[in-house]
Structure 1
Amino acid sequence: MNTRLIRVGNSQGIVLPKKLLQQYHLAGEVDLQPTPEGLLIKPVAKPRRQGWDERFQHAIAQGQTPEGELLEGFSEEAFEETEWQW
């Protein structure tokens, strides 16, 4: 595929077709790596669950306990009476 460089202020850029952007999951921030063959453009891999630990610590400091909310309505007795088959 051939394309042209276009002027963007004092820099230059390229326009990538929407189909390529979707196919290679390119959006927002990208990683550019020079290679002997040219320039490699890759999506930036953001760590999953980034910031979760800080949010959990903040919630716990505020007195919120996710375990209590998740297990609300469950007890060993209720489970044994309704779910367990003897």
Structure 2
Amino acid sequence: MKTNIINIGNSQGIILPSALLRQLNLTSNSLVEVEIENGNIIIKPNPRQGWAEAAKQMHAEKNDELLSQELPNKFDLKEWTW
């Protein structure tokens, strides 16, 4: 697929086709990681989108307690170096 670099304000960008965005379950507000690898621009979806908001909601509903109360254990207390 080919696309052009376009001006967006004082920056430049590319337009990603909606079919490509749908395949990755991305929207116009999705957070992505952009990096350069071997001379290529790599755009990766951020798999943890919405986690911060979900954690805040769980805390507000007092639904964020530990599922396992077994910590710390003997290994954590005596053998592990923190």
Q: Normalized against structure 2, the TM-score is what?
A: 0.57
Q: Structure 1: 5+ residue runs without aligned partners?
A: 59-86
For 2:75, the equivalent position in structure 1 comes to none
Counterpart of 1:43 (choices 42, 45, 48) is: 45
- The Cα RMSD (Å) is 2.3
The C-alpha deviation readout for 1:55-79, integer Å capped at 9, x for no partner, is 1339xxxxxxxxxxxxxxxxxxxxx
Detail structure 1 runs of 4+ shifted over 6 Å in the superposition.
none
Larger proportion of helix = 1
Q: Normalized against structure 1, the TM-score is what?
A: 0.55
Listed as ranges, the matches of 1:1-40 within 5 Å are 1-27=1-27, 28=29, 29-40=31-42
Aligned sequence identity (%)? 33
| Cα separation, 2, equivalents of 1:52 and 1:39 | 35
The C-alpha deviation readout for 1:33-68, integer Å capped at 9, x for no partner, is 22114111112222384224421339xxxxxxxxxx
Larger radius of gyration: 1
| Cα separation, 2, equivalents of 1:26 and 1:42 | 10
| Cα separation, 2, equivalents of 1:51 and 1:8 | 34
Number of residue pairs the alignment of both structures matches:
58
Structure 1 contact 26–42 (Cα < 8 Å) conserved:
no
| Cα separation, 2, equivalents of 1:2 and 1:13 | 13
Q: Structure 2: 5+ residue runs without aligned partners?
A: 64-82
